[in-house]
A = this chain, B = another copy of it.
Amino acid sequence: METHTFFLHLLIILLSARLFAELAVRVGAPSVIGELVAGIVLGPSLFGILQPDEVLRLLAEIGIILLLFDVGMDTDVRRLADAGRSSLIVAIAGFITPFLLGFLTAYSLFELSLLTSLFIGGTLTATSIGITVRVLTDLKRQHKKESEIVLGAAVLDDVLGVVLLALLYEFSVGGGISLANAGKVLLFVSLFFILAPIMARIISLLIKRFDSVSDIPGLIPTTIVSLVLFFAWLAHVVGAPEILGGFAAGLALSRRFFLPFGMALRTDPDFALRIKKEMRPIIQLFTPIFFVVVGLSLNLHEIDWSSPFIWQFASLFLAAALVGKVIGVFFIKESRFIRTAVALAMVPRGEVGLIFAELGRTSGIFNNEIYAGMVIVIALTTLLPPLMMKWFYGHYRQPS
């Protein structure tokens, strides 16, 4: 691509993200909806001005890992651990139910093949941690109890999603499934998630020491971005989703980070604050690119809207996707307010569902009609919950 064309595309993305976000807020929706809509409008769904090409996709990936880094920095590790039990229940129930509902509907009702049905189940499982977190932040609920539960659940959900994808991939190429392999992935990911924040913490202390002896300006932006990139890369190497690397790096730099045995790794609040301050503009620059690119990737144009099959198919799976995620909250001991908030926040599928659906299409497991149906389900689960959450918080107050 020529440089000036790239400049033009990037500025169109940044400006339209901003304009649509402002419009979204004016009509009472969270700003992330505006950014997603900007992508849908610019992309193949509507005007076809932009394609989600490689460069944009890579910039978007930087955006999402930086967003998760930001979320990690704001997370209170102790509270995340406290919410652990509830998170686990919400994650597991919200993972298994949509998978089973999706699979059974596809296999018995629509009589699709075993592999296709399994893939449809997979597409319905994973919550989009990025969209969920952005909505909670847009609504200024990111430090509330329900957010800790949702965050923990969404992270676990992502891990389970990766394990499932690994299993389904094996099944689709080899025909069999090795539980040993799945266990290995799970083990690696869990180890990563325990060790990465400690490692990142040690590195951040090195950066701080380096900071006091370096004369060249610009240490924090380059080294902290490198730290985030490194853990995203490392996450991939051990088989975990890259965004978990960003989240782990953020947790490590959180002012509320604690280690049971690590008093020597205590936080310097001034340094954490400086990192927060210098990273903010960089994060604010990159994250809208991610949400616009998610919108660009949704090609609503490919859908034959007049086909009755599509509507029937999409509504049944939409129901499976909604019910499947909501069920988990009936098993946790929280107020009805928190349970409702958690249920709504777990619904968005966003980019994770799209990755599954895309994989299904490119490997020939989904035909165009099934793919189109899944895209409708993903679009609705992505666009509706933010509006519902906004409405919910506007009409109900947390009982204190």
List the B side residues contacting A3 at CB < 8 Å. Answer: 57-58, 61, 236, 242
Q: CA separation between A371 and B218, bound complex, in Å?
A: 35
For residues 220 through 234 of chain A, which have their beta carbon under 8 Å from a beta carbon of chain B? 220-223, 225-226, 229-230, 232-233
- Is A273 on the interface with B (CB-CB < 8 A)? no
Instruction: Give how many copies assemble into the complex.
Output: 2
Partner of A22, one of B4, B214, B230: B214
Q: CA separation between A57 and B282, bound complex, in Å?
A: 19
Q: Are A222 and B61 in contact (CB under 8 A)?
A: no
Contact A25 B232, CB 8 Å, known A222-B17, A281-B282, A282-B285: no
Q: Are B237 and A1 in contact (CB under 8 A)?
A: no
Q: CA separation between A236 and B11, bound complex, in Å?
A: 15
Other contacts beyond A3-B58, A278-B280: 13, CB < 8 A? A4-B232, A7-B61, A7-B65, A7-B230, A8-B229, A11-B226, A14-B225, A14-B226, A22-B216, A25-B215, A218-B287, A222-B285, A281-B281
Residue count of chain A within 8 Å CB distance of chain B: 51
Partner of A6, one of B18, B58, B282: B58
Q: CA separation between A57 and B17, bound complex, in Å?
A: 25
Ranked nearest first, the 5 interchain pairs of A and B with the lowest CB-CB distance are A218-B284, A4-B236, A11-B229, A221-B281, A221-B285
Chain A window 45-85, contacts with chain B (Cβ cutoff 8 Å), 1 for yes, 0 for no: 00000000011011001100100000000000000000000
For residues 1 through 44 of chain A, which have their beta carbon under 8 Å from a beta carbon of chain B? 1, 3-4, 6-8, 10-11, 14-15, 17-18, 21-22, 25, 31
- Is A288 on the interface with B (CB-CB < 8 A)? yes
Q: Which partner residue on chain B sits nearest A58 by CB separation?
A: B6
List the B side residues contacting A287 at CB < 8 Å. Answer: 218
- Is A166 on the interface with B (CB-CB < 8 A)? no
Q: Which partner residue on chain B sits nearest A222 by CB separation?
A: B14
Q: CA separation between A232 and B54, bound complex, in Å?
A: 22
Q: Are B58 and A222 in contact (CB under 8 A)?
A: no
List the B side residues contacting A14 at CB < 8 Å. Answer: 222-223, 225-226, 229
List the B side residues contacting A237 at CB < 8 Å. Answer: 4
Q: CA separation between A279 and B280, bound complex, in Å?
A: 10
List the B side residues contacting A242 at CB < 8 Å. Answer: 3-4, 7
- Is A217 on the interface with B (CB-CB < 8 A)? yes
List the B side residues contacting A199 at CB < 8 Å. Answer: none
For residues 283 through 316 of chain A, which have their beta carbon under 8 Å from a beta carbon of chain B? 284-285, 287-288
List the B side residues contacting A319 at CB < 8 Å. Answer: none
